[in-house]
Amino acid sequence: MTTNRTFTMIKPDAVADGHTGAIIQLIEAAGFRIVAIKKTQLSADRAGQFYAVHQERPFYGDLCQYMSSGAIVPMILEKENAVADFRALIGATNPEQAAEGTIRKKFAKSVQANAIHGSDSDENAAIEGSFFFADLEKF
């Protein structure tokens, strides 16, 4: 296994509900090191750019509206096997299918408002991290 990075965002529902601290605690307890972190809000246009891969999907418009509806907390995280281990920590996209103990099982409200994002590959983790953070913001 190699030490590498993944990208995550705590989504608007979880930030608005006051779960930011609890989610960060779970992430750090699972062995991830925070390389970069901020609190920000996406415009609908920027949410659309971030999720451009989904633009043909029926839920794309709703997703962009939801992701720009409030503050989010994007982070770059570092750990051995970061991408796969983080996907395991957050659980399935649909919280009804998420395993016990996962972040989505604990905090997600629906398949859309599912509390947290996790990159699905090393390549996307690098692209998504650069979408939010300049090199000088990564430590």
Detail the residues annotated as belonging to a binding site.
11, 59, 87, 93, 104, 114
The SS3 of residue 6 is strand
Per-state percent for the chain, helix, strand, coil, to nearest 5: 45, 20, 35
Shortest Cβ 118–ligand ATP spacing (Å):
5
Residue 22 phi/psi, 5° resolution?
Answer: -65, -40
Residues that bind ligand ATP (CB under 6 A): 59, 63, 93, 111-112, 114, 117-118, 120
Could you tell me which residues are annotated as the binding site for ATP?
11, 59, 87, 93, 104, 114
Q: Which is nearer to ligand ATP, 133 or 139 (CB)?
A: 133
Quote the distance between the C-alpha of residue 10 and its chain's center: 5
Catalytic site includes residue 54: no
Catalytic residues: 117
